[in-house]
Amino acid sequence: MTPDPYEARLVARFRDGDVRALETLFDRYADRALGLAVRLTETREDAEEVAQEAFVRAFRHARTLEGTPTGGFGPWLFAIVRNLAADKRRQLRLPTLSLSAPGAEHLAEDGPTPAEEVLRRAERAALLSALDGLPEEWKTVLTLCDLLDVPHAEAAQVLGRSPAAAKSLHYRARRALRDAYAQTWGEEP
Amino acid sequence: MTCHEMRDLMGPYVDDDLPIETRRRVEAHLLVCRDCAWESQTLHIARQHLRENLGEVVASDAFRARTLGRLLSDNPHVSEPEAPAVDPAQYRLPIRM
C-alpha cells in the first residue's frame, strides 16, 4: 500500500529535523494509538505506557531507516502497539481488558437519566466482556476497523495479512462479537 | 442471489463498501430472506453498539505532554525550523509620496 503523500512528507521533514513534523505526526495518531492500546491492555496506565513506548520506537524507526516506514507511519505504529500490548499481557499473565475501562466513570451533568445510565453501563459491561473473550487478533481488527476507522488495507499490514484476509477476519470477528455480546447480555440479571 | 453468495457480501454490505448495483442485489435478497436480514441487522447493531459504547478514547493533556517530552529528548536532531531571512525592501510599495 502506498503511504499517504502528506504523511510521507511529514516523516521526511521529521527526519530532516523539523520539530513541527514530529508534533503533527504525534497529534495525528495520539488518540488512535492510545485507543488501540486501551483495548489490548488491562489498565489505562498500561495503555499509556504501551502507547508512549510505541511512539518512541516508531519515531526511531522513521529516523533511522531510509524511506518511509513500509506502508506508512500509522500501520507501523499500530503494529508496535499491538506487539508491546502482547508483551505487557504476557508479563502480567492476564487476559485483556477490564470492565472498568476508561470513560465509564465520566458522566455528563446534563446527560442521561440514572435509569438510562444504568442500562448504558450494563450494555457497556456486556460489550467489554464479549470483546474480552475474543482472540487477540479479532479484538485487534475490531478495534482498528470499527473503533479507529483504520482502512482494511492498513489493518492488514498491522495484522500481517492480505487486505482480503483482513476483511474476512473482520467479518468473522464482528459475528463472534455479536454472538458473544448476545450471550453475555442474555446472562445479565 | 443466494444465501451462499450473500455470505461473502455481508461484511462489505454492513461496512457500506459495495458498488451500487451489488448493493441493490443484496438489498433485494434481504427483502425476501429472513435469515440474511437478521444477520445483516444484528451485525449493524453490534457495530453500532461497539462504536457508541467503546468508540472514543482521548489522549489526556498529561499523556500528550509526557510523550512529546520523551519524543523530543529521544530525537535531539529536531528543532524549530529557521524562519527565512526577510529583506525589508521586499515589502516597500512602488509609490512615491
pLDDT at A80 over 90: yes
Q: Look up the domain containing A166 and give its range.
A: 108-189
Residue that is last in its domain, among A97, A124, A158: A97
For residues A25 and A19, give the distance between their C-alpha atoms in angstroms, rounded to a whole number.
10
H helices of A95-162, where?
114-132, 136-142, 152-159
Residues A14, A88 within the same domain: yes
Task: Give the residue from A73, A97, A121 where a domain finishes.
Answer: A97
Are B54 and A120 an interchain contact pair (Cβ–Cβ within 8 Å)?
A: no
| Contact across the interface for A26 and B71, Cβ inside 8 Å | yes
Please check whether residue A166 lies inside any domain of the structure: yes
Predicted confidence (pLDDT) at residue A101 exceeds the cutoff of 70: no
Chain A interface residues (partner B, CB cutoff 8 A): 14, 17-23, 26, 30-31, 34-35, 38-39, 48, 51-52, 55-56, 59-60, 63, 101-103, 120, 123-124, 127-128, 131, 142, 146-147, 167-168, 170-171, 174-175, 177-178, 181-182
Q: What CATH number corresponds to the domain at position A24?
A: 1.10.1740.10
Q: What is the mean pLDDT of residues B14-25?
A: 91
- The verdict on A90 and A63 lying in the same domain is yes
Q: What is the pLDDT of residue A100?
A: 43
- ipTM strictly over 0.90? no
Domain assignment present for A16: yes
Q: Shortest CA distance to A181 belongs to which of B43, B8, B37?
A: B43
Q: Is residue A161 part of a domain?
A: yes
Residue B84 has pLDDT above 70, yes or no: no
Residues A92 and A163 in one domain: no
Q: What is the pLDDT of residue B27?
A: 93
Domains of chain B, residue spans: 3-54
Residue A102 lies in a domain: no
Position A79 confidence tier, pLDDT thresholds 50, 70, 90: very high
Q: What is the pLDDT of residue A102?
A: 42
Q: Are A59 and B46 in contact (CB < 8 Å)?
A: no
Residue A84: per-residue pLDDT? 93
Residue A131 binned pLDDT confidence (cut-offs 50, 70, 90): confident
Identify the closest residue of chain B to A101 by CA–CA distance: B54
**Nearest 5°: CA angle at B83, between B82 and B86?**
140
Q: Residue range A118-137: average pLDDT?
A: 82
Q: Residue A136 class from Cβ within 10 Å (0-12 exposed, 13-18 middle, 19+ buried)?
A: middle
